[in-house]
Amino acid sequence: MDQKQLKTSWSQRIVIGVIAFLMLFSTVAVYALIVLSNEKKAKNNADVSAELEKLKEELTDKKTVLEAKISELSNQYYGKMSGYRSLVRSYNANSVDTAGLKTTDLEIGTGAEITEDSSYYSYYIGWCADESVFDSSFDVWDGATALVDPLAYVVGESSFVAGWEEGVIGMKTGGVREIDIPGELAYGDTQEVCGALNSPLKYLVMVIDPGSDYKKLMDEYDNLVTQYYTLYYSQNQDLLTNNSAE
């Protein structure tokens, strides 16, 4: 074979050089894009982290104010609710089941009347036939020293047992009512309460008006919680997605 044929021509060298340059350029460009992309992600993560920290501080401050208001409400209603603790007594479960939904007004309120379309707040005690309390607004049952935040019922959002929802209708704010609930209108066969399914229950319910300040605080706190966790999970989802892609 002629040695001349083995030599690379100038045109071929130019083409090879151009290809090499393009390969080098594309490698550098890709690297630069990766670096810039990572820097952008890092900046975005830093911005989100800063916003999360700001929201956390706002939540802490709002929670402090809210807890003070809850304590104020507890001081206002604790004595009255404690006076009804003595009504928590054993009862005949079969009799409650047979009698069906029954309500007894212990104190008539003077405020707005509860209807099917009412949102309201309440303190309560729920107990079983053997006198054991399965839930209440007291911080603890034995040796209680305070009431926790009042229970909110919001039309279209909250879902209580049917016996409670029906049993409070007609009450007026400030009133206290005892509600006897047969098993089918309590938790039925969906949840074991008082040691069995379809257990009849009794509730003592006090409907209160916590005031516009409390309602506003709760709305503001709930909004901050929603903002915080929406941003938190969004950031973590982005990190998971980026890590999977890499």
Say if residue 114 is in the same domain as residue 192. yes
Do 45 and 17 sit in the same domain of this protein? yes
Q: Which residue has the tokens 């966790």?
A: 229
| pLDDT tens-digit map of 39-97 | 556 556 778 888 889 999 999 999 999 999 999 999 999 999 999 999 999 999 999 99
In this structure, are 98 and 181 located in the same domain? yes
Query: How far is the C-alpha of 128 from the C-alpha of 135, rounded, in Å?
Result: 10
7 token code pair: 């030599």
User: Facing residues of 136 across strands?
Assistant: 125
Residue 16 located in a structural domain: yes
Residues 59 and 150 placed together within one structural domain of the fold: no
Identify which has the larger pLDDT, 246 or 57. Answer: 57
Give one word for 65, left, alpha or beta, with left for phi > 0 and alpha for psi -120 to 50. alpha
Q: Quick one: 190 and 94 in the same domain? A: yes
Shared domain for 28 and 58, answered yes or no, is yes
Q: Which residues pair with 146 in a beta bridge?
A: none
Per-residue pLDDT, 40: 54
Q: Tally DSSP H helices, then E strands, for the chain.
A: 5, 6
User: Which domain CATH number covers 138?
Assistant: 3.10.50.40
What percentage of the chain reaches a pLDDT higher than 90?
70
What range does the domain containing 126 cover?
Answer: 90-210
In percent, the amount of the chain with pLDDT more than 70 equals: 78
Number of neighbouring beta carbons within 10 Å of residue 170: 13
> Across residues 19-43, what is the average pLDDT?
55
Tell me the pLDDT tens digit for each residue of 96-110: 999 999 999 999 999
Q: Centre a 10 Å sphere on the Cβ of residue 186 and count the other Cβ atoms it contains.
A: 26
Q: Does position 4 have pLDDT exceeding 50, yes or no?
A: no
Tell me the whole-structure pTM to 2 decimals. Answer: 0.76
